[in-house]
Amino acid sequence: MITAAPYTTDVSGPRHDRLRQHPTPGPHNSLFPWPDAKHPLRVMVNYVVILVCRISPSLRLKNWLLSRLGVTVGDSVAWGLESTPDVFWPELITVEDHAIIGYDATLLCHEFLQDEYRTGEVVVGERAMIGAGAIVLPGVEIGPGAQVAANSLVTADVPPETTVAGVPAEPLGADDETTEEA
């Protein structure tokens, strides 16, 4: 555990084991010195390219542009409108073949905290689906065929062929997947 009064941050578990911690000593929070972590021009270029990708309906254009930023993009990946890969570290994202990133979903590869920032890879497995408005945190792996429900916050790995939902996202049980019958 890292303790920085008055906050305590638990940095244990599979996701946190894959995060790289970058201390930022000094009087300011970790976002203040971000230009020391990533060149401002690189972030500006990333932002403009990602902005174009967010509004473009062309999946081929999105995949091509994002791969130019360093995102590992598999075959036939579908990015929904307004979906947002990490602007600071897009090169830490891997989206495997036939995965779907839903409308307004966000894949984050960084966390700015008070006394440090953390970076970690995000992997979206083959044929996985990320629902609209979902947020995936750094260091998370979404297994092949897994599904993340809309507006979920994914704070831990999602096993293959598993559906998760909620804040934080948790696996749905058989009782949760009922259908309405008239």
Number of H helices, E strands in the chain: 4, 19
Q: What is the pLDDT of residues 117-157, one digit of tens each?
A: 999 999 999 999 999 999 999 999 999 999 999 999 999 99
Neighbours of 91 (CB within 10 A): 15
Instruction: Say yes or no to pLDDT of 14 above 90.
Output: no
In this predicted structure, what is the pLDDT of residue 7?
37
In this predicted structure, what is the pLDDT of residue 9?
45
Instruction: Say yes or no to pLDDT of 62 above 50.
Output: yes
Instruction: Say yes or no to pLDDT of 13 above 60.
Output: yes
* Residue owning tokens 């998370």: 140
- Whole-number percent of the chain with pLDDT over 90: 79
Tell me the pLDDT of the chain averaged across its residues.
90
In this predicted structure, what is the pLDDT of residue 175?
59
Instruction: Say yes or no to pLDDT of 57 above 60.
Output: yes
Instruction: Say yes or no to pLDDT of 6 above 60.
Output: no
The candidate with the shortest Cα–Cα distance to 60, out of 75, 42, 45, is 75
Instruction: Say yes or no to pLDDT of 176 above 70.
Output: no
**Do 92 and 109 meet the contact criterion of CB atoms below 8 Å apart?**
yes
In this predicted structure, what is the pLDDT of residue 93?
98
**Do 119 and 22 meet the contact criterion of CB atoms below 8 Å apart?**
yes
Q: Which domains does the chain have, with CATH numbers?
A: 35-171 (2.160.10.10)
Instruction: Say yes or no to pLDDT of 94 above 60.
Output: yes
